[in-house]
Amino acid sequence: MFLENNKHKGWIEVVCGSMFSGKTEELIRRMKRAQFANLKVEIFKPSIDVRYSDVEVVSHDSNAIQSTPVESAQNILLLASDVDVVGIDEAQFFDDGIVDVCRTLADSGIRVIVAGLDMDYMGVPFGPMPALMATAEYVTKVHAICVRCGDLAHHSHRLTEDDKQVVLGAQDTYQPICRHCFNELRAKK
């Protein structure tokens, strides 16, 4: 499945933060640089994420790159053959198996770049992201700007009353807010 004599060392990079912090933008930037370097790349996203496109990873700024939607993390191993770099967007939507998938890819000499929300709308670590961050060689935490006060934001405040953990949305559903504003809003509930 993977190159047996791959002379390159693999590793895992995680880009995390709140909604509107530039995670996907950074993933796309790194993947396009790899393409520019003539590396073989493959980008994956969870098939449930159809907000902007069924077959592209798209940032909130409308920057896009072709991707393969997958139902489960294990599908990535089946589809990521003969590549140098694998990108994975919205990793928080995958099950915990994504951690072993990333390890397997990196152990086989592949650079793995993962982007995802580190916390859900309640401020709780989101899905497999803590384990991915602990496993990664490189972690980049990006921040948005709080829409309430202008400070650095690292919370994704949900504007709707839905209490499910996974609710897909964009500016109509979420706002980036700082710790202080997050705590203020939580105290009012």
Q: Which of 26, 90, 161, 184 is catalytic?
A: 90
Tell me, letter by letter, the H, E, C secondary structure of 153-167. Answer: ECEEEECCCCCCCCC
Token output for 103: 């390890």
90 catalytic per annotation? yes
How do beta strands 11-17 and 111-117 pair? parallel
Q: Tell me the pairing of strands 152-153 and 144-145.
A: antiparallel
Nearest to 117 by CA among 16, 15, 13, 12: 16
- DSSP sequence for 59-114: -TT--EEE-EEESSHHHHHHH--S-SEEEE--GGGS-THHHHHHHHHHHTT-EEEE
The residues that are catalytic are 90
